[in-house]
Structure 1
Amino acid sequence: MRVEDFDYHLPEELIAKYPITPRHNAKLMVLNRKDQSIRHDMFWNLPLYLEEGDLLVFNNSKVLPARLYGKKPTGGKVEVLLTDFITREEWYALIGGKNIKEGLQIYVGEDLIVEVLEHIESGKFKVKLLSEDPLKALDKHGKIPIPPYLRRGEEPIDRVYYQTVFAQIEGSVAAPTASLHFSEELLKRLVEYGIKKAFITLHVSYGTFKPVKVDEVELHRVDPEYVMVPKETIKLIKETKEKGKRVVAVGTTVVRALETAGFEPFEGWTELYIYPGYSFKVVDAFITNFHLPRSSLLFLVCAFGGREFILRAYQEAIKERYRFYSYGDGMLIL
């Protein structure tokens, strides 16, 4: 398959630079794979398209302020972007600056030093956060690494809205964006409609923004990411399937986590790369945002919904002035 077959033109003004408030006021496009129909609605009305007993599965990973500014012992300024969770203390990182060598200690604050452990490739390194409480120190000194296509720095609104309302386990450097539409009020409404919920953890790496640099879809690779699918979630998935109800994945991260785990609890790393031709085992329906052209996220959505149908929906979204990307509107594929 050619990567160019997953291209489309997006007018710059349709890239959502800021979040909608309240969260559930985003638009919702509803795609039905059986009759190939497209409906337009608001995210607040999501429960109307689900059935009592359906199971929504969310990613409860929490975005960390992973962009750090520090100094070398010589006084030279250095920017460190934590890109991939390994442990609370150890990360892969992109480091800007000259003479970055193993053993270098970058001073960020009196309670946080970044030590370079190993050079991986070009500007990528393995680092250790030297701190009594690394996550607390990150929260104090770091900036939220909002997506590069927003073309702006972090603002106070991002600390609230580039985070899900149920974020719990620290480790992501990018938000699971399909979940950003869920307000406390909408979650309560879903309960009233008898819709169940469960959680997985997938720590989103900066690789989610990695451009596809090959011409053939099959030749691309995604970066490994930490995943945990607990036994409670697997139990709910099995019960949902047994009752003939649907497992609804909220976001591409949840799709990859559930399809990695199958029907058994799982903790480890996933490099599952889903593109058209993939046969889905667990996921019955799928909520997602509108993704960049020629991206691995768009390949995954096309694998689930069908390339022609999805690209037709994207053209309709452009015509209807939907908002695109991380802070954009949502799509439900049934």
Structure 2
Amino acid sequence: MIKDDSPTFRFSSTTAGVEFVCRIDGGTARPCDSGSFTAPALRDGEHRFSVAAVAGGDVEDPSPAETSFTVDTTGPAVRITSGPREAKKGTKAGKRRAVGQRAVRFSFTSSESGVMFRCKLDGSKYTLCSSPYGPESMKPGEHRFRVRALDNAGNYGKAAKVHFLVKKDRSKPDPDLDPDPDPDPPPPPTDPCSLTPTVIGTESADELRGTPGVDVIHGLGGEDEIRGLAGKDQVCGGSGDDRIVGDDGDDRLSGGPGADTIRGGAGADTLLGGDGDDLLEGNDDDDRLLGGRGSDDLVGGEGRDFLDGGPDEDKCDGGSGQDSGASCERATPF
């Protein structure tokens, strides 16, 4: 799946001196002797590109090379399904709908499956989030919430937003009866799939390697094998059942859609499973393992790890360190 509606294809032949003709969706043959062909603007949807060698001036290869692809240039729509109601401006504060400080929680959905959501409260930056979303408490007053989605082709849709009012809670919160509660989870990390890549694969199965420095690696489609090597790498597997290893450095590794296997290596790593039944394995340092959707297996290893399986039935093994987490059927106590 690509968001470029006019993609360029490159090709070659083992036979010297041949000419080429190219077709899109079985249409009119066009000469493409330069070894590359840029398609005209295409509509969203499935397409097919074929290229055939022509020998002797008019003898066309009856078995052209072909590839199918999907163009998607439309960002996913987002709809807020529940949460604080819109508080219209121009209405007296006493007549505007208000919610308590600990009742700010939004649920939302997208017109496309497999998307990644990003949320924003007031003047903060967009961060990775999931539905339902909300802080533990907010200051009284006027606030704004925005949520948008990123699809597998890399398209952002228009943000859904609401302007709401928070009132001061009169009742005191219940005392915490847990003598040793888990610490609050850290804020959602920036997803590597939203960054501009320095190493990029194809829609097929790729073997990608980073450098000893800092890399941003995108696998795109296919069952990819990606290794970051040294440095603070940002890796996005993309769609497909990928195998990702971070190696040395504090890495951020995201599997994307598919049943992925993600291993952190040395360093304090952040592992993001995404959609699918994933296996996430930390190492000796203080790692963050976030399973996302799907029935995930999370293994922390040594170190003070944070494990969050996500909304489905997950299994978490904290390892030998002093760990914390949420949303897990814990195989080993933290």
Instruction: Specify the TM-score bucket, using the shorter chain as the normaliser.
Output: under 0.3
Between structure 1 and structure 2, the one with the greater Rg is: 2
Query: Could you tell me the TM-score, scaled by structure 2's length?
Result: 0.27
Query: Could you tell me the TM-score, scaled by structure 1's length?
Result: 0.27
Structure of greater relative contact order (alpha carbons < 8 Å, 6+ residues apart): 1
More strand, by proportion? 2
